[in-house]
Structure 1
Amino acid sequence: MLAATLAGALALAAVTGCGAGDPEPPELSVSGAFVPEPVSEAVAGGFLVVENTGGEDDVLTGASSEMAEKVELHETVDNSMRPVDSFPVPAGGSLELSRGGNHLMLHGLSSKPETGDTVPIELRFEKSEPITLNVPVEYPTHTGR
């Protein structure tokens, strides 16, 4: 009887995908986040690195801020920016949002943030829970390095 019960439990684990062979879920963290002090309240850029130390890919699907009417994900191709719907965050890898490359674009700021302030930003993902940040505002020429 015990052997039949154990065999049934193992069969159920194999069918449902439970077991040691399953990849670990995404494990996300954010570093290096900053917003350069913008010249006006019209628009600001956001830069950061999302690291995924988990065993499964994830996707950054959006962002928002209580200080902006909207936050868009932008890619830069041939020195031209355009909005995109998402960015991949690979398992065991990272997504870098940086000057001259992929980045966040904050539109319609409620006020012009100054160096030393923080901007609240929420990042949303396909699989992981949202990550809420208080992103420091740096000098306009800050590169994050």
Structure 2
Amino acid sequence: MTRPGTALGAAMALAAALVLGGCSSSATHGGGSGTEAGSAPRLKVADAYMPQPVGDTAGGFLTVTNTGDGADRLVGVSSPLSDDVEIHETKDQRMREVESFDIPAGGELHLERGGSHLMFMEIKKQPKQGEKVAVELRFEKSGPIRIDLPVEAPTHNPASGHTAHGSAHH
């Protein structure tokens, strides 16, 4: 049984983290004010891109770096491009939707070709190479991060030597 003060304290800490984790001028967000156990995630998104879609689905790829001393989780994604953006993992050559991805303290989450990725289902339009697709990433602890995914050639793969960077927007 939880004490009433514990739930209220947790709710207030969450509200404070959401206010402090509001939109900033870069795609970096930290949660909390350091008054709790000192374990706050600090997230930054880089290397974001979307290969130009060739059908009614599109993939999204990026890296989330956590320089904080607390873990976080990517729990949701939204975009005007699709009403259904899923988080997929690839294991043993098979894709499946998952609820979230862990972002360890001092670690990274890599969403890349051939591995875990964002999947935009039933896209509303065909973005062309050179355009940008607005995306909002939602996390368990940190505030949301809004990025623009640059649309690259359908065969684009940064592992082959070319890297694209996403940009933050408000």
Give the match for residue 151 of structure 2.
137
Distance 1:78 1:128 in 2: 31
- 1:100-119 to structure 2, matched below 5 A, reads 100-119=114-133
Q: Which runs of 5+ in 2 are unaligned?
A: 1-32, 160-170
The alignment of Structure 1 onto Structure 2 pairs a total of residues equal to: 127
Distance 2:78 2:118 in 1: 10
Q: Pairwise CA RMSD of aligned residues?
A: 1.8
Distance 1:76 1:133 in 2: 23
- Higher Rg of the two aligned structures: 1
Give the match for residue 81 of structure 1.
95
Identity among equivalent pairs (%): 50
8 Å CA contact retained: 1:34, 1:144: no
TM-score (norm 2): 0.71
| Poorly superposed stretches of 4+, deviation over 4 Å | 18-21
TM-score (norm 1): 0.83
1:38–1:57 CA distance, 2 compared to 1 (3 A)? same
Counterpart residue type for residue 37 of structure 2: D
Do residues 46 (structure 1) and 60 (structure 2) align?
yes
1:63–1:21 CA distance, 2 compared to 1 (3 A)? closer
1:77 shift after superposition: 1.0
Larger relative strand fraction: 1
